[in-house]
Chain A
Amino acid sequence: MKIVIIGNGVAALNAVEAIREIDKNCGITIISKENESFYTPCFLANYLSGEIAKDRLYLKNERFYDEQRVETIFGNAVAEIKVEERSIRLSDGRELFYDTLLIAAGSNPIMPKLPNIEGGGVFSFKTMSDADRIISNLKKINSAVIVGAGFIGLEVAEAFIKKGVGVTVIERDNRVLPRMLDNETAELVTSHMEKNGVKIMTGKEVKAICRKKGNIAGIDTKEEIIPCELVVIAVGVAPNLEMIRDNSIKVDKGIIVDDGMRTNIPNIYAAGDIAEMEIQGERKINPIWFYAAKGGRIAGLNMMGLKKRYAAPFTDMNVVTLFGLPVFSAGIQRGSKTLKHQDSKGIKKIYLDENECINGVQLIKDVAKGGLYLSLINKRVPYSLAGG
């Protein structure tokens, strides 16, 4: 059997390990458009700030691929998947045949079509090469603007401050971390960021990038021009669907898979940021490490003929630490009843639905019990029964 995996992230690697638990011999080829062995993207901001060395991002040693007997094709994107032929075409024109295919090609940063966005000095922040490019430009500048106050935007802002670069974060929404927090908790995070030297502007649309002699001069919002020398765009990610040129693989926002990571094509699976999973009647992409890791493993096992299912819902969740302040969020920050508890240990805010079940939880400072709430959200246990 010949297995081809597109992507070299955690979904891909977990799939490899799952496959090898069952079959030590089948052929596996990993294709990645990046020319890097497996690394964790979760700490790129810590690498950017200089807090950790680059080698700490590589999670497997160099022998990993050989030991797992995986053939690697790095630095080569997939141009097209040919479902009928059971083959893929690489950007260099090579063609590879597969028996079973896993698409774990991840996501790409969304780059809005802003005037003057082309021409250098504007960066995304998704890959190691993004981080390296920013680092090589950082010494030359004193100020930067980050577009987007999601957790990536705020992490990069923290890194910039630590590197001595003045930074303004511009967010279209009315608050920071709009997918994680409500107005009240977002306000706390904003003042914490500001206390640490980050300028935060919310409710502001970016109109254009201003340039002087080709160099970045500022960011134009509707009201004002914010001068800066470098721009990072962090407004989100979208599945990397560029290799899907054929109508036979069902796609919506991402590649649609069932709870076994199967696409509509029997021998094609998808996992990670690219997969739009249909679970309990809801279709969702949830581009975080945990779902990619779990999805990759399930995909790997099912590719070997097992019948594993993804049992828990694809609940939104994240945890991020900003200037030493841990912030946790899970579920939906809306509900018919709000509970709030604040003490020296931190803040806990809970949204309940009409059945007193937890819709969403936000924890600021002490996040140790986050997973407990996540499991209450997923199990729909009334909060009163959970003993407070």
Chain B
Amino acid sequence: MKEIFINIERCTACKSCEIACAVEHSLSKELFSAIFETPLPAKRVHVEKAFSFSYPVKCMHCADAACIAGCPTGAMYRNHEFGSVNVNTDKCMGCWMCAMVCPFGAIIPDYGIKVAQKCDFCPDRLRKGDEPACVEACPTNAVTFGEVKELFKSKRLLSAERAAKAVLVREDKEITPLEMLRNIGNI
């Protein structure tokens, strides 16, 4: 089962994921039409600031999902096709129990129509073999999509590489422009 993995160090707060998400959840699925729709499509990912970092907050599709346990209408359910946590908007009655228990703040209540919105893993895209919209939109690969095993493998490789770099490049340490901004507290 593939999962979305977020690398906080790479997020530049460009909010491309937010736009791509709203567009994907619009009627037209096209930016220039989506901005003229009524109601405007809602994004299900929010880039939030956290100290000198930014982080795209979205549903993590928890294995033991509190929102599923907490939902008293059976609207919140596990989609076994993609392993995602989805909401059946026909069943949802807008009691916000899911928002009450979600540790990520990833539920987006639509107070107008009393329905909980959330990341749905872009099932239309996954069925076509595409990546979720936020993943595709991320210009820095801060949001990636893959098998958990592979994601952890690449994470392990990264930490091995870092350890090696620390030994190799002690004095003239390579530093990315983003790290530079972060170090001087600019972001």
Contact = CB atoms under 8 A, between A and B. Distances in A.
Interface of A: 10, 14, 40-43, 46, 52, 56, 59-60, 289-290, 293-294, 297, 317-319, 321, 324, 326, 328, 330, 366-372, 374-375, 387
B145 to A, nearest CB: 24
7 contacts: A42-B73, A56-B93, A290-B97, A319-B99, A330-B100, A374-B103, A387-B51
Nearest to A311: B64
Nearest to B46: A368
Contacts, number: 95
Contact of A367 (B66, B72, B100): B100
B141 to A, nearest CB: 24
Interface string B64-81: 001001101110000000
A371 B109 contact: no
Given A43-B73, A374-B100, A368 B108 contact: yes
A371 B73 contact: no
Contacts of B94: 321
A324 B73 CA distance: 19
Nearest to A60: B74
Contacts of A319: 95-97, 99-100
A324 B74 CA distance: 22
A290 B105 contact: no
B165 interface: no
Interface of B: 49-51, 66, 69-70, 72-74, 91, 93-105, 107-109, 111, 114
B72 A368 contact: no
Contact of A43 (B95, B99, B111): B95
Contacts of A293: 69-70
A310 to B, nearest CB: 12
Contact of A52 (B50, B93, B100, B108): B93
A40 B105 contact: no
A289 B72 contact: yes
A14 B69 CA distance: 9
A289 B105 contact: no
Q: Which 7 residue pairs are nearest across A and B when measured between Cβ atoms?
A: A375-B103, A371-B102, A42-B72, A372-B105, A293-B69, A290-B70, A369-B105
B104 A43 contact: no
A328 B96 CA distance: 9
B99 A370 contact: yes
